[in-house]
Copies of this chain bind each other. A is one copy, B any other.
Amino acid sequence: MSLKKYHHGDLKNALIQAGIKILAKEGIGGLSLRKVAQKAGVSHSAPYAHFPDKQSLIAAISTEGFKQLYAELDIAVSPYSNNPRRQLAEGAWAYVQFAINNTDTFNIMFSGVLEKEKDYPAFVEISRKTFERVVDVVRVCQEAGVLRPAPPEMMAISVWGQLHGIVSLMLEGQIPHTVLDRFSVREIVFFALNQLISPPQ
């Protein structure tokens, strides 16, 4: 945590950043501890001073991804705190954008690459916090009649699940091109979201 440099400086963060870059450039398959170490300019087993194993580095990268996702959701949503419908739409679109613009990070966060998430408190915490944020938006929407009355967590899972499912299938190439030729991603996403939303007025 100190700003002062010793052997390397803040190697722990350097490793995380190197990992994020490699992930973005070469995908999950190209992400190895040894490559991360090399990119940070240290020997192949230097990372073991900061991470007990590869899973732990992956957990740190995933946690960073969640922090970024949370931040982007917050930025998208905050300006419209008095317009629940708009807030939901902007948040939803921000989620989709994040997934598309950070495919591999998104995959590492949500695709079973991290095997025992509950072992990593920071990951659990930011993931819980993100879900709470979604629940809050959903609750406001319900109070404004934009979403139907129901337990807000339940409705939040419907909304989040809807977005998450569609964008996952899209990234996986499971949406046939016969569909993608006729409709834009935006149309698909908002058509689905609108199924959950009560008609205006």
* Contact B115–A107 (Cβ < 8 Å): no
* Contact A161–B162 (Cβ < 8 Å): yes
In the complex, what residues of B have CB within 8 A of residue A158's CB? Answer: 162, 166, 191-192, 195
In the complex, what residues of B have CB within 8 A of residue A182's CB? Answer: 151, 153
Q: Which of B29, B154, B175, B192 contacts A188 (CB 8 A)?
A: B154
> Once bound together, how far apart are the Cα atoms of A127 and B173, in whole Å?
10
> Once bound together, how far apart are the Cα atoms of A163 and B161, in whole Å?
7
Give the nearest-CB partner of A188 in chain B: B157
Q: In which size bucket is the chain A interface?
A: 35 or more
Query: Would you call A68 an interface residue if the criterion is a C-beta within 8 Å of the partner chain's C-beta atoms?
Result: no
Query: Would you call A183 an interface residue if the criterion is a C-beta within 8 Å of the partner chain's C-beta atoms?
Result: yes
Chain A, residues 145-173, CB within 8 Å of chain B (1/0): the string is 00010110110011011111110110111
Query: Would you call A128 an interface residue if the criterion is a C-beta within 8 Å of the partner chain's C-beta atoms?
Result: yes
Q: Given contact pairs A28-B112, A111-B113, enumerate 9 new A-B contacts (beta carbons under 8 Å).
A: A111-B112, A117-B172, A148-B195, A154-B183, A158-B166, A158-B191, A158-B195, A161-B166, A162-B165
What are 10 A-B residue pairs whose CB atoms fall within 8 Å in the complex? A28-B112, A118-B173, A151-B182, A157-B166, A158-B162, A160-B169, A161-B166, A161-B168, A164-B169, A168-B168
